Chain A
Amino acid sequence: MLGKASSALSTVALSGCGALSHAYIQHPPLKCGIPGSRGLFYDDGNKLLLSITSDQVFAWKTAVPFALFDAPTPDSIGEGPVLSIRYSLDAKLIGIQRSTLEIEFRNRDNGEAFFYRCKSESESILGFFWTDCPSCDIILVKSSGLDMFAYEPELKALRLVESKRLNVSWYIYTHESRLILLASGMQCKSFTGLQFSSGGIIRLPRFEMAMAKTEANEKPVLAAEDIHIVTMYGRIYCLQVDGIAMLLHLYRFYRDAVVQQGSLPIYSSKIAVSVIDNVLLVHQVDAKVVILYDIFADSWAPISAPLPLLLRGLPRANGSSSRSNAKDTAHVEVNAVSDREGIIYGDGWTFLIPDLICDAAHGALWRIHLDLEAIAASNSEVPSVLEFLQRRRLEASKAKKLCLAITRTIILERKPLPLVARAMDVLVSSYCHSIKTGSTLLGRMVGSETTTTSGIRHVDNSRTGVDGSLTKIARHKKFMRESATASGVEEEPQQSRTQYVENDSLDLASGFTVNRSSISLVSDSEENGGSERMKSSSGEPLEKSQSKSPYFLGAKEGTGAETSGVEVAQTTLQTQMLGPSGNPLNSDVSEQQESQIASPAISPDEMYGSVFAPVEEEMAVDPSYLVAVFVEYFRSAALEKLKVHRNLNVLTIQLLARSERYAELGLFIINKILEPSKEVAFQLLDSGRHNSQTRKLGLDMLRQLSLHHDYVLLLVQDGYYLEALCYARKHKVNTVRPSLFLEASFASNDSQHLAAVLRFFSDFIPDFRNSSDFNTYRRILNEMSSSVAV
């Protein structure tokens, strides 16, 4: 355990010193070079990278980790120009825009095709996308407005559902937000927004974007590249680059309003943005640095200094895993690498929302990652670092490990109590939040139909396993029991699905909390955005099932890890069963399982097992400081109505008794700061060996807990056998052997008492007169009284 702690610490320290970046791209990238490629497209609806050859399209799934990339799936699309190309969301059709007037639709199964052509020559098609909004399947954006169509498979045609007339200069859309922004006006700064959510179409009010004027009083025209739609914490934002004011404006979308939230300074004429795990990355492309923002609270301060992106894992530098080496055929590798080194923020880079970089020139697709260690190490404000880490979902287990390490460190370094207190607050409220939001979503989930994959299941299991015995929601316990008894894994889809949503719903709710400042504007587009974001993080398979409820997420879970699902589920089942038997350290399990953690929230069990117990074992911290830390943790937990690990109560008693602070110990017990339990009572009895007052507290607690047997036994042991008899009679304790009472009364050398005890048992226990005890002590009593008489 200790080794674990210190190793985690050292990694923090190491990366802290050596870090030159807070975000990195990991070598190897996805190679999407196809001989004869005529262009790359990104289908964000299906998260596919598409490469077009003369008559074929090659698709790579980008939702799964790059290491798992398969060979691209080819589809024939026939000859002809391709302006844009998108797979339908159920992956059955491919839509290919051939010209500004014509879109071809091909069925992937049989290759049948049909065409959509504009009726009038005056309008041109700006683009199209597929949607999962209930009323339509595909949206066409034209210079004259929007057309929404439903696809009729039998007719092999599109049926117009609705159209909306307006002049459109250009548009942007992200599937992630389901939001389209249509620019119009002279400066293209007047916007109409629509959200095609799975709950229906939401029309946003028209709004204008602010733009600074140039000195010459020219009116700049807003270009599509200057606008980005991003979702963070389930909230949808629009970012607008104002190159003249050198500001990046943030607008937040509500159902009935668009509100400018603030502006970030920019240091480059070319700006790109990415969102990784809800962290906003503003790439200052000219300056070749990236600045990170965590737009969660009302803080607009960057969370890190501007640093370049780092290219990690070059084979030459540090040797990436052998598997990826083997996989990459190495014919261009050596040369390519040296080329690539110079091309961070190269001209060929296209930033794909949310977290991808496509290097068309080199045929490579990179994914941006956050370096949580580096970020944590670069900030000395511990509570805010913890808050930041607690909000991370993508690398939840890493974030959690870091949180644990940081917490251990501040205690070992004896940081001031107010700081420790705030750190505790952060961790506890984060955990409670994760629990609470789970239960709030439960009601809405019930009844939605779905199929469950084992992939989902093992996520649940690992989480429940980590929570261990302390998860207080009864439903959890039930689930654990059932899953532990089930031999297979494929049981109770309803239950496990509920849990899955519970895990993910953290994000939703974090959105909600922040909204309190603007309650009136909270919209459900937010929820959609939130669920969308989660889907993207967990991956979306090509075969997409229909979902009716906006809260329904289960079936969209990725299938990438499915193969290992069963094994993982079994190992977690084992840890679960070990859990109650008193292994609180089960958070330290295999990497494989940790990678399944959905949230970095730290349960009271882990707090005890991975922070308090190891720190206490190290004995480096003075007990009174440690008690003070515990008190702060108790305070945080009490605020959130969270029960602490019961061993923590015991540990607190040990610490107080060790430093002979019995008066305080008494206060802790009397005021129930340490909640009464059998463990606590026995620890008090043990610690009270040298302090009768403390021992009495333990006895009293036994009595108050109605642990009659133990209470009577201890009274007898202490020589209060008469009191014990009274008590035993009153509370009908008949499990304590009569001989114990008799021995005790004999030891007191008082024949009257011995006679009384004998009489008591003769009266109240049938057949006692025939027992050997009776005869023995009867004889002893006779001897005693005769000796007195003499």
Chain B
Amino acid sequence: MGLASTTTGSEGIQFCIFDLKRGQEEGQELDKILFFFPTDLPFSTQLSVIGLSEGLITFTRIFSPEAACEVIEAERHSHVFYQAEPDIWMVMVVEKNKEAEAIWRIGALQQVLKEVHSLFMMFHGSIRALLEKEPGGGLARSHLYFFVMDYLTDFLSGKKLQLPSFRDCLKERGTVQMLTVGREAAIEVQSLVRVVESACAGNAACSSLVLFQDLLVSTTLSPDDTVNLFAYAILRLTPLALSSGSSSWSYLRKGSPASLITTGFIPGNSVSVTEPTYTSRDTSPGRQGQRYHVPRPLQRDKWSKGKDGFLVLETSGAEVGGLNSSTPTVWLRQTDERMYLCVFQQKNLTIILLIPVSSMINGEQGISMVKRQILENASLKILKVDEKLSRGWGGENAYHVRGYRYLLFDGDRNVSRASPPGKVTTLSKDSLLSLNRLREEVDLEKNRARHDDPSHEKDLEVCIRAKNNAWVIARVTRGKELYMVLEKANETLLYASDAVEKFSNRYCNGAFSLD
């Protein structure tokens, strides 16, 4: 299974989304399936994957109704579960293969599932809502299809899907990477933020994100929304994402700008799609041939920079009346409000301004007013901030610490910082495997502690001398986590612990220095 040399070339990876509420009756099972990858697998195979997953979920719910199954480890496969919405599950099946470096950390894979769902929610709202809007499921399916496929495109490495493996254990998906700025620059940034946000007339509660290159500088959004918009910006909006259309410094974005969709399974880039595969299995009558307009915010190379510095999303969906605006909108999780997504870019700075749709009575016109305001009031400030930040920016290896390969992760703020990818690649495979293993253990321990006493955060400290004589270290202190690998280090434990202490004092304000 899965090794068939299909056009998608997704060896050993399956990804499905299904709704437990649907297709309860015999013969209607296909109705459950909202998305399946690879798309060309026969339904019987699809159904067997989903059937197994459903069975396990139902079974484990007996013991743990709140948190059902998270993972099945089979001999050759891992099934990773994520309940995206009540009764809507995402399951990823990955093949284990030591030779092919197919060694996974379940937490990392769950983060992928979580991320794609969060981004989907941000643009399209919940899957359940789409299903309710159109009970046949065609609307949800076509949205999911394009969105998830566009998302997975970024994992394409050649013809192969490259999901985060043990090599990415010094990374944390679903977090934000921040630029460290001095006080003066930070004040300038805040001042800029206020001016930009005040560009929306009236009392509209605008929000904004400011990025410098691929690093976050400021946000006025809630942590969840920040993570989502940051992830989207890294994928599609930052100067790097725009210029290459493919790789950013981020480890994942390598590969060609090829799209899974354009590889031939679904004809062309047509926005309005008739989907023979889905409609044919759509059992409800009258759905045949229905067309859906599907905006594809994750489609590559659709954003471009306009003359005025604002980014434009290319849309060809003029035929559909659903969205008469060329400015895309997103849902904010915190406020459950729909916002216009207005992106300005100048040099290294990307400013994402979110304007409540409800506050813009005259839509596009109001937005161009806001844009004009920003250009008038803030352009000088933007230049100044960019200059200031550029001056203080140490380049892509700015956060490299000699001798250390680390990941620093603040779970409260969803912020992480890690050794630059180029430096991580110098680690030996053994070290990475050990750390991957260690992280897996820490994940388990953290989950256990969270179940025991959610209010009390456990401290944790592990130092391991790996087979290759590297120190592999994990420290967890009150919501903050530090992972590091010290190769070519002295053999004593004291040395390792001193190294952590030094690092903590120097780069973490002593957060990990509790003796």
Partner of B220, one of A638, A663, A703: A663
Q: Check B191 against A727 for contact (C-beta < 8 Å).
A: no
Cα A666 to Cα B478 with chains together (Å): 16
Partner of A663, one of B182, B222, B511: B222
Cα A632 to Cα B189 with chains together (Å): 11
Q: Check B195 against A666 for contact (C-beta < 8 Å).
A: no
Q: Check A704 against B184 for contact (C-beta < 8 Å).
A: no
Q: Check A704 against B220 for contact (C-beta < 8 Å).
A: no
Partner of A661, one of B191, B203, B220, B377: B220
**Interface residue? B256 (CB, 8 A):** no
Q: Check B186 against A672 for contact (C-beta < 8 Å).
A: yes
- Most chain B C-beta atoms within 10 Å of own C-beta, residue among A627, A704, A723, A727: A723
- Give every chain B residue within 8 A of A153 (Cβ-Cβ): none
Cα A112 to Cα B342 with chains together (Å): 90
Partner of B186, one of A639, A667, A696, A720: A667
Cα A634 to Cα B184 with chains together (Å): 9
Using an 8 Å CB-CB cutoff, how does the interface string of A402-425 with B read, 1 for contact, 0 for none? 000000000000001110010000
Cα A700 to Cα B222 with chains together (Å): 21
Closest to B189 in A: A671
Interface size class of B (residues with CB under 8 A): 35 or more
Cα A91 to Cα B320 with chains together (Å): 96
Number of interface residues of A (CB under 8 A): 38
Q: Check A628 against B194 for contact (C-beta < 8 Å).
A: yes
- Give every chain A residue within 8 A of B186 (Cβ-Cβ): 667, 671-673
Supposing A418-B377, A663-B222 touch, asked if A704 and B191 sit within 8 A by C-beta, the answer is no
Closest to B515 in A: A730
Q: Check B198 against A628 for contact (C-beta < 8 Å).
A: yes
Distance in Å from the Cβ of B472 to the closest Cβ of chain A?
23
Supposing A631-B194, A671-B183, A727-B514 touch, asked if A693 and B456 sit within 8 A by C-beta, the answer is no
Distance in Å from the Cβ of B240 to the closest Cβ of chain A?
23
Q: Check B198 against A693 for contact (C-beta < 8 Å).
A: no
Closest to B198 in A: A417
Supposing A693-B412, A693-B413, A703-B510 touch, asked if A634 and B187 sit within 8 A by C-beta, the answer is yes
Q: Check A417 against B195 for contact (C-beta < 8 Å).
A: yes
Supposing A632-B191, A638-B183, A638-B187 touch, asked if A667 and B219 sit within 8 A by C-beta, the answer is yes
Using an 8 Å CB-CB cutoff, how does the interface string of A644-658 with B read, 1 for contact, 0 for none? 000000000000000
- Give every chain B residue within 8 A of A632 (Cβ-Cβ): 191, 194
- Give every chain B residue within 8 A of A631 (Cβ-Cβ): 187, 190-191, 194
Cα A418 to Cα B181 with chains together (Å): 23
Q: Check B218 against A700 for contact (C-beta < 8 Å).
A: no
**Interface residue? B54 (CB, 8 A):** no
Cα A668 to Cα B182 with chains together (Å): 11
Closest to B190 in A: A631
**Interface residue? B295 (CB, 8 A):** no
- Give every chain B residue within 8 A of A620 (Cβ-Cβ): none
**Interface residue? B226 (CB, 8 A):** yes
**Interface residue? B440 (CB, 8 A):** no
Q: Check A666 against B413 for contact (C-beta < 8 Å).
A: yes
- Give every chain A residue within 8 A of B510 (Cβ-Cβ): 703-704
Partner of A664, one of B183, B205, B220, B377: B220
**Interface residue? A440 (CB, 8 A):** no
- Give every chain B residue within 8 A of A719 (Cβ-Cβ): 455-456
Within 8 A of A (CB), among B171-188: 181-184, 186-188
**Interface residue? B221 (CB, 8 A):** yes
Q: Check B459 against A723 for contact (C-beta < 8 Å).
A: yes
Using an 8 Å CB-CB cutoff, how does the interface string of A625-646 with B read, 1 for contact, 0 for none? 1011001101100110000000
Cα A664 to Cα B210 with chains together (Å): 12
- Give every chain A residue within 8 A of B456 (Cβ-Cβ): 719-720
Distance in Å from the Cβ of A688 to the closest Cβ of chain B?
11
Partner of B218, one of A627, A639, A667, A703: A667
Q: Check A696 against B478 for contact (C-beta < 8 Å).
A: yes
Q: Check A417 against B194 for contact (C-beta < 8 Å).
A: yes
Supposing A632-B191, A673-B183, A719-B456 touch, asked if A704 and B412 sit within 8 A by C-beta, the answer is no
**Interface residue? B365 (CB, 8 A):** no
Cα A667 to Cα B415 with chains together (Å): 12
**Interface residue? B509 (CB, 8 A):** yes
**Interface residue? A513 (CB, 8 A):** no
Cα A634 to Cα B221 with chains together (Å): 22
Cα A663 to Cα B181 with chains together (Å): 16
- Give every chain A residue within 8 A of B107 (Cβ-Cβ): none
**Interface residue? B2 (CB, 8 A):** no
Supposing A631-B191, A719-B456 touch, asked if A726 and B514 sit within 8 A by C-beta, the answer is yes
Q: Check B218 against A635 for contact (C-beta < 8 Å).
A: no
Distance in Å from the Cβ of B199 to the closest Cβ of chain A?
10
Closest to B373 in A: A416
Cα A607 to Cα B191 with chains together (Å): 19
**Interface residue? A692 (CB, 8 A):** yes
Distance in Å from the Cβ of B431 to the closest Cβ of chain A?
29
**Interface residue? A622 (CB, 8 A):** yes
Distance in Å from the Cβ of B305 to the closest Cβ of chain A?
25
Cα A663 to Cα B182 with chains together (Å): 18
Distance in Å from the Cβ of B379 to the closest Cβ of chain A?
12
Cα A700 to Cα B183 with chains together (Å): 18
Partner of A635, one of B191, B226, B509, B514: B191
Cα A275 to Cα B200 with chains together (Å): 46
Supposing A672-B183, A673-B190 touch, asked if A726 and B515 sit within 8 A by C-beta, the answer is yes
Q: Check A416 against B198 for contact (C-beta < 8 Å).
A: yes
- Give every chain A residue within 8 A of B136 (Cβ-Cβ): none
- Give every chain B residue within 8 A of A729 (Cβ-Cβ): 515
Cα A693 to Cα B479 with chains together (Å): 9
Closest to B479 in A: A696
Q: Check A622 against B194 for contact (C-beta < 8 Å).
A: no
Closest to B412 in A: A693
- Most chain B C-beta atoms within 10 Å of own C-beta, residue among A668, A671, A730: A671
Q: Check B194 against A692 for contact (C-beta < 8 Å).
A: no
Cα A666 to Cα B178 with chains together (Å): 13
Distance in Å from the Cβ of A685 to the closest Cβ of chain B?
14
Cα A625 to Cα B197 with chains together (Å): 10
Distance in Å from the Cβ of B144 to the closest Cβ of chain A?
30
- Give every chain A residue within 8 A of B9 (Cβ-Cβ): none
- Give every chain B residue within 8 A of A673 (Cβ-Cβ): 183, 186-187, 190
- Give every chain A residue within 8 A of B188 (Cβ-Cβ): 635
Partner of A418, one of B195, B221, B413: B195
Distance in Å from the Cβ of B453 to the closest Cβ of chain A?
9
**Interface residue? B223 (CB, 8 A):** yes
Closest to A730 in B: B515
Q: Check A663 against B195 for contact (C-beta < 8 Å).
A: no
Q: Check B514 against A700 for contact (C-beta < 8 Å).
A: no
Partner of B219, one of A421, A624, A663, A672: A663
Q: Check A638 against B184 for contact (C-beta < 8 Å).
A: yes
- Give every chain B residue within 8 A of A638 (Cβ-Cβ): 183-184, 187
Cα A635 to Cα B183 with chains together (Å): 10
Closest to A661 in B: B220
Closest to B205 in A: A624
- Give every chain A residue within 8 A of B190 (Cβ-Cβ): 631, 634-635, 667-668, 673
Distance in Å from the Cβ of B55 to the closest Cβ of chain A?
39
- Give every chain A residue within 8 A of B455 (Cβ-Cβ): 719
Cα A719 to Cα B197 with chains together (Å): 41
Within 8 A of A (CB), among B218-270: 218-223, 226
- Give every chain A residue within 8 A of B459 (Cβ-Cβ): 723
Cα A661 to Cα B219 with chains together (Å): 10
- With A628-B198, A671-B182 known, 12 other A-B pairs at CB within 8 A are A417-B377, A632-B191, A639-B184, A661-B220, A663-B226, A664-B219, A667-B190, A667-B218, A673-B183, A673-B187, A675-B183, A726-B514
Can you sample 25 A-B contacts with CB below 8 Å? A418-B195, A421-B195, A622-B203, A627-B194, A628-B197, A631-B187, A631-B191, A638-B183, A638-B184, A661-B220, A663-B223, A664-B219, A664-B220, A666-B413, A671-B181, A672-B186, A673-B187, A675-B183, A696-B412, A720-B478, A726-B515, A727-B514, A727-B515, A729-B515, A730-B515
8 closest Cβ pairs, A-B complex:
A671-B186, A628-B194, A693-B412, A631-B190, A672-B183, A635-B187, A730-B515, A635-B191
